Structures are given as structure tokens and as C-alpha cells.
Chains A and B, each alone.
Chain A
Amino acid sequence: MRAPLRLTLLILLLLLPLHTMADWQRIEALKNKVGTETPQTSGLQIGLPLVADDGASVPLKVTFNGTLAADEYISGLYVFASQNPRAEVIEFAFSDAIPRIEVSTRIRLSETQTVYVLAKSNQGNLWLANQDVRVTVSGCLMTDEDGTVTEAQMSQPRIALPRNPKAGEAAELRTMINHPMETGFREDSQGNLIPQQLIESLQVSRGDETLFSVTFNTGTSANPFVAFFLDQFDDLTFTWTDQQGQQLSETR
């Protein structure tokens, strides 16, 4: 290889990280959240499969283990998918009562793309992480998104507390509720647009204090699943609210 060619290649290689770092700025919603801050890039981990053969339900896990100041805690996590019709996928809001930042859910990815997660602390510090997912056309021939319209009513709320909960020891809680999470982008078999029907939020509270809340969006899979960590498991109220303002509450 001749020297000028080698030099050009080297420069291109050096430019590569710059190019990928700038990619997230193309997502308007994410750019607005970041503002003029510079997010840190280590400390936030995304767990996603490399290849998803069912883009309607891709398991996502986000873990934070970065360093925080003495009275600093992570107050929000925001998930974005660069190529979805709407970039906003799901948002989590934490109070300082959450012992560990590790949440799991299932998301929709319309095509092969990059998933971004932004974490924000109560002092305004930011962390950003991203991961690529290759989405293939449906591997299984039967999907739940085949043009049939299911009734958009919340039903069958499920809450699983940890098997042997001990106060003071962080353990995972899982929640799920049945709902089609109609995006408003889909057509029925006659070609008419199916109106949007979403569950807007899940709120977990003890008495008047909100411990944890989730805002769902079009990128959240049908029958929203959320798992998170707590270390006190008494007097918990779980409230799901849909776009019509209807609420469904469960107490544990």
C-alpha cells in the first residue's frame, strides 16, 4: 500500500468514532433531552439481542453502574430507537428509594437500527449508551400484529414479587398487563388506519410517595412488561393509566 493511501485510511479510521457519536444528534427527541450538556459514555449498559427475528417484541434490559456523587441518584432513563416511526420508546422515572437501576421491558423495532438510552441524575448529569440490533423479517409466520384488531382494554394485570423478599435486600419485581398498544401507524385488513390506543403510564407508589413510574410510547410492545428493583415490598400500589384516562390499580 502506498503512503498517501495509508494516511487517508488512517484519517478515515480516526474520523469513524466521531461520525458514530454524532449519529444520536439526528434524533430530535433525544437532542432536546440532552440540550447543551455532554453525556458520559461509560456506566450505562444496554442488554439487547444482536439479532431479533420478531421486531414486535425485543427484550431490553438497561443497567446503570456508573459513579454517582454522595446525594446523587439516577432519576430518569429514556429509550430511543433511531429508525422507528416515532423515536420515543419508553421512559422510566426513579425516586431515591430505588436501590438499583436495572430495568427490563420489551420494545418494538421496525427495522435494523441503533437503540439509544439516556440516563439522567437528579443533579442533571447525563449518560448515553447505544447498541445496534439487526431486525430480520418475522421468523415465525404467526405474529400478533397481522391486521386483526383486538379490543383496546387493559386487562389481567400481573405482578410478581420476588420469591423470598427480604426488607433491605434489592430484588426484582415483574409487572405486566394485557393491552394491544395500538400504534396508530397500522392498517386493518380493509386498509383503514387503526386509531392509536396506548397505555400511557405505570405508577408504583407507597402511600402518597411515587417510587417508580414508566411512560409508555408507540415503541413499547403490546402487553407492556416492566421489571425493576426494590428493597421494601410492603404497601405497594401499581396504577396503569391509558390514553382515555381510565385507570386500573392493584395493591400488594
Chain B
Amino acid sequence: MIELFEDHLQAVLWSGALLGLAYGAAAQWSRFCLYRGLSNRWQSGDSIKLRAFVLAMAVALLSSQALHWLFGIDLTQTHYHQRSPSWPLLLGGGMLFGYGMHLANACGARSLVLLGSGNLRSLLVLLVLGVSAYATLSGLLAHPRIDLEALTQTRLPATSIDGLISLTGLSASLSKTLTLLVLAGLLLFWALKSPALRQSPRDWIGASLIGLLTAGGWWVTGVLGADDFDPVRLGSLTFVQPIGETLQFSMLSSGMKLSFAVVVVLGVILGSFVRALFSGEFSWQGYESPQQMQRGILGGLLMGIGGVLSLGCTLGQGISGFSTLALSSIAALAGILIGAQVALWLDSRKTTV
């Protein structure tokens, strides 16, 4: 396969673009969205979308671990496996992200998909998100972030769930199998318990595809991108830093190399656009009021800052990071869920009073 391309980097870029296209189309078709899942469940008790997200987590976990077993991709080499993470920042960043997701009505990945189907509101959210992510990563907020990190870091004896279990004396392979069976079993059971999800192929097929695409990302960067001299950084679907990098690339491409993350982002927009066009769902949409616009801007800002502090978004930590069994993903995902729930709760109090 690699002979088709000039070198392994070309192979990674083309496959990354295809992966993005597939994600964009699948997510546009199935309306895959963690925030929609949480708010539907909160407001009307309808949990299909939330169960679909959980199903995607389970599929991503099983398929990524299968890849690790088949190709020996070392998923502990990803940035989700931090030796000395900062719990307050992971959790707090997740909460900011979750709150921002509520304000903007969609997370970063969903905003890309919406943009492809003509939603100009998400263009503003994405611009703010990308800029604030880079401001936190390497700009105005970088030094405060690094100082806070240094203050709150704790050194861990293990970086993954199975690593933590093997500290009790169980062998590494046994604790991994146990973790996988229990976690995937629980998630699959809860997701598929609902007849509503089972009878909605759009949701369960879409979610399963997205789970498999996550493993696809590990394969592209870990197998196609493997090279003795210039290995591609191991990564999969994630949408905070990459949105910022895409903006940066659009401004500095003469002195920058195209990366896997950027082609995935562009692929998602294009994939969603093509699918929306063919299904007749494409329609231009904009803000209806300045208040809505304020929420969008603030939401993008909080998601950009929060997403960098928590090392990833709903997709990045919730699905990709989780599929590597990283401990940091559990903290970040918990933060995102808490942030979104608090936002929904505050909102419901406001409307009832």
C-alpha cells in the first residue's frame, strides 16, 4: 500500500483525509453528538443519542485494543498517557469544555460537521475555539497554563486503567483482559439495553462506524506512519488543537508542513458537506440574536481553553483517549460530563424561575 505513495507521510495524509471524510459523512448522517445526548436525556428523558455515544466508546475501545494486539501499536505512547498529569486541570478543563459545549450548543467535532451542512453559527464558534486553544497552548495563556500545571502535577505509578489494576499483583495481560471485558461489557450492555437504540440503525450504525474510525486513526498514524527515521506522532480523532492548527496552517502554510490532524479536520468539513448536499439537508443558517452570538463566542472560548487543559475534547478524550485506557481520559470525560450537567441544571432553573 505504501508503494502507492511517495513516502509514508503522503500515505498518512491521504488516509487521514479519507478518515476525516468518512467521519464527517457518518456524523452528519447519524447526528452523532454527546451534547445532544446529554440535553435530550435531561430535557425529555430520551437517551438514544447518549447511548449511541457510549456505544461508540465501546466499539472504539475494542477495535483499538484489537489493533494493539494485531500490529503491536503502543497506545501508551499517546499524549493521553501522562506520567505526571495535573488532576485539577484535567477535571477543571473538562468542566470548562462541558460548559462551553452547552453555550455553543455543540462540541468542536459537531461544529465542524454543522459547518459542512451550512451552519455559519459554528464557523464563529470554531474560529474562537481554534484561536483560544492556541492561546492556551503556546500564546497568551501558555505561561499561566505551564505554571499551573507545574503546581498541580502528581506523579502516578501507572498511566492507564489496566496499569493501575496490575499494581495489585495481577499480570499485565490478565489485568488488561479483565479491564477490557468489564468496561466494554458494561458500556455495550447499557447502550444496547435500550430497544430504541437497537431499532434506530442511523444511531447505532453511525456510532459503531465512528468507533471503528477511531481505531482507523491509530492504524493510519501507528502503522502507515511508522518509520525508523521520521515516525508520525501517534494520534486519532481529536478536535481542539487540530482546529487551531488548521487555522494556523491556513495562515502559515508556506513555512509549515501539512499534518494528519489538519487533513482530518478539512476532511470532516468536506465529508459533512458532501453528505448534506446529497441528502438535501444542506441549508444556510446564521445567528438570530446578539445573545445567541454571545453564547457562541463564549462557548468557543471555553471549549478552546478547556479542551487544551483537559488534553482533548469529547472525541479526543472521550473516545480516542478512552480507547487507549488512559487514566487522564477518565478525568477529562468526567469533567466534561459534570460541566455539561451543571450547565443544563443552571439553565433549567433559569427557565422555571
Query: Footprint of B on A, CB under 8 Å?
Result: 48-51, 53, 136-142, 158, 160, 174, 176, 225, 227
Closest chain B residue, CB of each to CB of A158: B228
Query: Footprint of A on B, CB under 8 Å?
Result: 79, 82, 137-139, 142-143, 146, 149, 228-230, 233, 241, 248, 252, 254-257, 311
- Asked if A140 and B256 sit within 8 Å, CB to CB, the answer is no
Pick the contact of A50: B142, B230, B254 (CB < 8 A).
Answer: B254
Counting chain B CB atoms within 10 Å of each CB, which of A49, A139, A227 scores highest? A139
Pick the contact of A139: B149, B229, B241, B255 (CB < 8 A).
Answer: B241
Least CB distance, B110 to chain A, in whole angstroms: 24
The docked-state distance in angstroms from the alpha carbon of A130 to that of B79 is 34
Pick the contact of B255: A49, A141, A142, A160 (CB < 8 A).
Answer: A49
Least CB distance, B239 to chain A, in whole angstroms: 16
- Asked if B138 and A53 sit within 8 Å, CB to CB, the answer is yes
- Asked if B252 and A50 sit within 8 Å, CB to CB, the answer is yes
- Asked if A142 and B79 sit within 8 Å, CB to CB, the answer is yes
Closest chain A residue, CB of each to CB of B145: A137
- Asked if B252 and A139 sit within 8 Å, CB to CB, the answer is no
Least CB distance, B261 to chain A, in whole angstroms: 11
- Asked if B79 and A176 sit within 8 Å, CB to CB, the answer is no
The docked-state distance in angstroms from the alpha carbon of A48 to that of B233 is 19
Residues on the B chain within 8 Å of A142, using CB: 79, 82
Pick the contact of B79: A48, A53, A140, A174 (CB < 8 A).
Answer: A140
Pick the contact of B229: A50, A136, A158 (CB < 8 A).
Answer: A158
Pick the contact of B252: A51, A140, A141, A158 (CB < 8 A).
Answer: A51
15 residue pairs from A and B, CB less than 8 Å apart: A48-B255, A49-B255, A49-B256, A49-B257, A50-B252, A50-B256, A51-B248, A53-B138, A137-B146, A140-B233, A141-B79, A141-B311, A160-B228, A174-B229, A176-B228
Residues on the B chain within 8 Å of A139, using CB: 137-138, 241
- Asked if B142 and A137 sit within 8 Å, CB to CB, the answer is yes
Least CB distance, A21 to chain B, in whole angstroms: 22
The docked-state distance in angstroms from the alpha carbon of A50 to that of B251 is 11
- Asked if B138 and A176 sit within 8 Å, CB to CB, the answer is no
Counting chain B CB atoms within 10 Å of each CB, which of A49, A138, A141, A174 scores highest? A141
Residues on the B chain within 8 Å of A174, using CB: 229
Q: Nearest 5 A-B pairs (CB), nearest first?
A: A50-B255, A136-B138, A158-B228, A137-B142, A142-B79
- Asked if A51 and B256 sit within 8 Å, CB to CB, the answer is yes
Residues on the A chain within 8 Å of B248, using CB: 51
Residues on the B chain within 8 Å of A51, using CB: 248, 252, 255-256
- Asked if A225 and B229 sit within 8 Å, CB to CB, the answer is yes
Least CB distance, A52 to chain B, in whole angstroms: 10
Pick the contact of A176: B229, B254, B255 (CB < 8 A).
Answer: B229
The docked-state distance in angstroms from the alpha carbon of A169 to that of B352 is 79
Closest chain B residue, CB of each to CB of A226: B229
The docked-state distance in angstroms from the alpha carbon of A53 to that of B256 is 11
Least CB distance, B31 to chain A, in whole angstroms: 32
Q: Other than the known A137-B138, A139-B138, A142-B82, what 15 A-B pairs have Cβ atoms closer than 8 Å? A: A49-B257, A50-B252, A50-B254, A50-B255, A51-B248, A51-B255, A136-B137, A137-B142, A137-B146, A139-B137, A139-B241, A141-B82, A141-B149, A160-B229, A176-B229
Least CB distance, A56 to chain B, in whole angstroms: 13
The docked-state distance in angstroms from the alpha carbon of A158 to that of B233 is 19
Residues on the A chain within 8 Å of B252, using CB: 50-51
The docked-state distance in angstroms from the alpha carbon of A26 to that of B184 is 62
Residues on the A chain within 8 Å of B82, using CB: 141-142
Least CB distance, B5 to chain A, in whole angstroms: 13
- Asked if A137 and B229 sit within 8 Å, CB to CB, the answer is no
The docked-state distance in angstroms from the alpha carbon of A75 to that of B15 is 42
The docked-state distance in angstroms from the alpha carbon of A227 to that of B227 is 15
The docked-state distance in angstroms from the alpha carbon of A95 to that of B82 is 46
Least CB distance, A46 to chain B, in whole angstroms: 11
Closest chain B residue, CB of each to CB of A131: B255
Least CB distance, B11 to chain A, in whole angstroms: 15
Least CB distance, A114 to chain B, in whole angstroms: 14
